[in-house]
Structure formats: structure tokens, C-alpha cells
Copies of this chain bind each other. A is one copy, B any other.
Amino acid sequence: MSEPGAAQQAVEAAIVERRERVNEAITDELPIIRPERLYEASRYLLDAGGKRLRPTILLLAAEAIEDVEPYAEDYRAFPSPAGDVDVMSAAVSIEIIQSFTLIHDDIMDDDDMRRGVPSVHNEYDLETAILAGDTLYSKAFESMLETGAPADRSVRALSELATTCTKICEGQAFDIDFEARDAVEPDEYLNMVELKTAVLYAAAASVPAMLLGDDEAVDALYGYGLDIGRAFQIQDDLLDLTTPSEKLGKQRGSDLIEGKKTLVTLHARQNGVDVDGLIDADNVEAVDESDIEEALAELRDAGSIEYARETAHDLIASGKQNLEVLPDNESRDLLGGIADYLVERDY
């Protein structure tokens, strides 16, 4: 990677600063109460880390919409023409949904590690992990109900949250289905990614516009979230191939090992690569970094890495264009910077 420029530094600082506030708010919204084991398990992944990208996007979108200086206003009583709104509750709600899906996905995908720590069903047990996810699910709705926004705006945000969750489940179902299929079209894959991953970015970006009553911004921010969310997933797929396990917090190349379809492997298959033969399926336990390196070289030769990178970059460009309806301010620039960051990050 090249030396980060001033713009990228500003983006990273904006993420770090907001992350701290989001983390405080998560502790407030999800205290460890009885039954303690349930709430500890519910908090476990949230406490283990995470960049809080989605809540950061939500808070920045609120600041961009109302055209206020970054951090000038209290996120818990964010000024809007129709009265103060607790946009932090909405931000926490989105992060809680993300955490619920990780817990249940790790069970479904039988993943042992997440964020460098054991997954919840591994650290606790299956029952507790299912229940912790279910608890976070309703807690996310409780949190979204605490914004203090006018009732009609709350209803709109809650409706977005509910349909987003349904779509995430549909996306996960398609993802599981794809594993068992030989042929998946890149378009089918991108539709799955939209459902499984991008709609939560779209919700994060558009919910503040709903709560603050800026109808024009709702669609634009939704489009921004959808584009950058798809790009984020494609970058995640690339990082799974290119980032050392230690930095990744889980086994490098796990998607290849598990036979997951990604934009990279779908492109490679269409271009004659024997994707199933890239990793010796009879010996997945003994896969090491050199096996992954060899597979990566073959995917690179087929142009599949470049294809995925270009697709992600095109989506980022499209996502940033959506921001043009917002007032020209620092927060809008940071939203654009986050879009770039999503495909430039190396972990």
C-alpha cells in the first residue's frame, strides 16, 4: 500500500472518533443484566472489536444532511426542524443487527473464529448463540424505537429495519444455496450480495434521512449504501484471499476452502479455471499459506482478481455520485472518503 494521503487520514480519524462514541452507546443500550450469560454472549462479538463502519456512515449522513460541523452536535439530541432526534440510537440499532447476523451466520457456516476470537457458538454453545442473536434482533428494534423522532418518521425507519432484516435472511439463504450449486451467474451473485450485505449499508445511510425528514436524501443515500455495500463485500472476498490469517482474524482463503462462490471464483470459472481443484478438497485441514498463494496466482492469471477489483471500484464511483444531492460539506466528503476506504482497506 502507498502512504496514506491526507484525505484517507481524515477518513480514518473520523471512523476512529465515531467508533468510540458508538462503543459507549452500545454499552449503554446493552447493559449486562439478568440473565447475565445471555447478555454477555450478546455483547461478546460487539466487545471483540469491529470498525463500526455502518453506524459511522449513519452519523456522518445525519451531519451531512443537516449541514452541521462534525461533532458540533450531540448525537443523542441531534437538531432537526421537527425537534431533536437521537441518531445514536439508530446507529447502535444498525450495529446490533450486524452483530446478530454475524452470530447466526457463524453457526450456519460453522466458522470457529470471528474478529480474532472464537465465534459465539464456539465460546459459549449453540443454544446460547442462537438466543444471543435472537436477543440482539429485538434489541435492535428497541433501539430504533428510542430515537424520539416524530412517530411517522419512526415508523418509516422501523419499516426499513424490518425489510432489511428480511432481505438479509433471503441473501443468506441464496448464499447457502449457491454453495451446493455448480453454476452461479455473476448477476445472481451480486443480487445475493445486495440482499445479504448491501441493504444494511443502505439502511445505515438512509435511516437518518428518514428520521430527520429529508425525503430527497433518502433515495440518494439508499443508493449510496447499496453501491458501497456491494463493493465492501467484493473487497471482503478479495481480502479473504490476500490478507494473512493473523490480520484477518480467521483462516485466510476460508471461502475457497469452504467452496463459497465469490465474484472472483465465478469469473475464474467462466474463464476456464478449475476452481474446485484450486484447493485439495480431501485435505482442507492441512491447507497452508503457500496453497492459498498458488491458488491466488492462478486466479490472478485468469484476470479474476482484476475483474473483482474493477467491479468494486465502479460501484464506489457510482455510490459517490449519489452523494451529490447532499449539501457540500465536510461530512459529505467523509462519506465519499469512506466509500474509497472500503475498497482501499487491507483488512
Interface residues of A (CB under 8 A from B): 34-35, 37-38, 104, 107-108, 126-128, 130-131, 133-135, 137-139, 141-142, 145, 150-152, 154-155, 158-159, 161-166, 169-170, 172-174, 176-177
In the assembled complex, the CB of A131 is this many whole angstroms from the nearest CB of chain B, namely: 6
What are 25 A-B interface contacts by the 8 Å CB criterion?
A35-B170, A35-B173, A35-B174, A35-B177, A38-B170, A108-B130, A108-B131, A130-B130, A131-B169, A134-B137, A134-B169, A137-B137, A137-B138, A138-B163, A141-B158, A141-B161, A142-B159, A142-B162, A145-B158, A151-B151, A151-B154, A151-B155, A154-B155, A155-B155, A155-B158
Q: Given known contacts A104-B134, A151-B151, what 8 new A-B pairs fall within 8 Å (CB)? A: A35-B174, A37-B177, A130-B130, A131-B173, A135-B169, A138-B169, A142-B162, A142-B163
Q: How far is the CA of A110 from the CA of B5 in the complex (A)?
A: 55
Interface core residue of A37, A139, A169, A174 (most chain B CB under 10 Å): A169
Residues of B within 8 A of A141 (CB): 141, 158, 161-162, 165
Residues of B within 8 A of A34 (CB): 170
Chain B, residue nearest A109 (CB): B127
Which 6 residue pairs across A and B have the least CB separation, nearest first? A138-B165, A151-B151, A141-B162, A38-B173, A151-B152, A108-B127
> Are A165 and B152 closer than 8 Å at their CB atoms?
no
**Contacts A145-B159, A152-B151; A126 near B139 (Cβ below 8 A):** no
In the assembled complex, the CB of A163 is this many whole angstroms from the nearest CB of chain B, namely: 6
> Are B134 and A107 closer than 8 Å at their CB atoms?
no
Chief secondary structure at chain A's binding surface:
helix
Q: How far is the CA of A198 from the CA of B8 in the complex (A)?
A: 53
Residues of B within 8 A of A133 (CB): 134
Choose among B135, B162, B164 the residue that contacts A145 (Cβ–Cβ < 8 A): B162
**Contacts A141-B158, A152-B151, A177-B37; A131 near B165 (Cβ below 8 A):** no
Q: How far is the CA of A130 from the CA of B155 in the complex (A)?
A: 27
Residues of B within 8 A of A158 (CB): 141, 145, 155, 158
Residues of B within 8 A of A172 (CB): 131
Residues of B within 8 A of A137 (CB): 134, 137-138, 165
> Are B155 and A38 closer than 8 Å at their CB atoms?
no
Residues of B within 8 A of A127 (CB): 107-108, 176
> Are A38 and B169 closer than 8 Å at their CB atoms?
yes
Residues of B within 8 A of A155 (CB): 145, 151, 154-155, 158
> Are A130 and B107 closer than 8 Å at their CB atoms?
yes
> Are B152 and A37 closer than 8 Å at their CB atoms?
no
Q: How far is the CA of A126 from the CA of B41 in the complex (A)?
A: 20
Chain B, residue nearest A142 (CB): B162
**Contacts A131-B173, A173-B38; A166 near B151 (Cβ below 8 A):** no
Residues of B within 8 A of A37 (CB): 173, 177
Q: How far is the CA of A35 from the CA of B164 in the complex (A)?
A: 16
In the assembled complex, the CB of A1 is this many whole angstroms from the nearest CB of chain B, namely: 37
Interface core residue of A37, A141, A142, A170 (most chain B CB under 10 Å): A141
